[in-house]
Amino acid sequence: MNMRIAKAATTPAPVEVTITVTRFQDVLGSAASGAGRGTRYTMKLARRDARAFIKGEDLHLKAPGAAVRFTIAAGAGSKAAYFPVGIAFVRDGAGDGDEQRLGLVNFPQDQIRPAGRSLVIVDSYRDTAPHVRYKFSVVVQRGADGRIGIIDPGIVHEDEQ
């Protein structure tokens, strides 16, 4: 049996998360005005998934972690198209060095994959502390004019087993 096919058959599908832009804020144009990052959004699971749930602005993931696909959508009635440009993480509280504080331990950069209006990350769930929260920033670009916005939700590692 081809090993590539066998691996694909055993890899679980990613947790599907839809982030809907409800009010776009250009971070480059707003810097002078003091308006800040301010892109407003809603976040929801595209379908129920036993590995995750959303509470407030946080995506809660259960052990042992999972791949997560964030798909960026426009709000109801909007014809705008938004594309993820990148993602950055910052751990709440103290961490053991830059790699842990910046999420490099849990969210390996070499496994982040942009694809059209989606961005796939892998949460390896390797942080040893219970109930760890990471703030993350998804950088999005508006297709119509190329302007840049930032969306700032969080990811929480649930410590229930």
Residue 6 lies in a domain: no
Task: Report the DSSP pairing between strands 154-157 and 133-142.
Answer: antiparallel
Q: In the prediction, which pLDDT does 161 show? A: 47
Closest by CA position to 89, among listed 139, 140, 137? 137
Cis ω for the linkage preceding 64 (within 30 of 0): yes
- Tens digit of pLDDT for each residue in 149-160? 999 999 999 876
The stretch 87-102 carries a mean pLDDT of 85
Per-residue pLDDT at 17 exceeds 70: yes
Task: Indicate which CATH number applies to the domain containing 55.
Answer: 2.60.40.420
Q: What is the DSSP letter of 5?
A: H
Residue 3 lies in a domain: no
Residue 139 lies in a domain: yes
As for how many domains the chain has, the answer is 1
The residue range of the domain holding 96 is: 13-157
- Look at residue 8 and give its three-state secondary structure: helix
Residue 130 lies in a domain: yes
pTM: 0.86
Residue 4 lies in a domain: no
- Tens digit of pLDDT for each residue in 30-86? 555 555 567 999 999 999 999 999 999 999 999 898 999 999 999 988 999 999 999
Residue 96 lies in a domain: yes
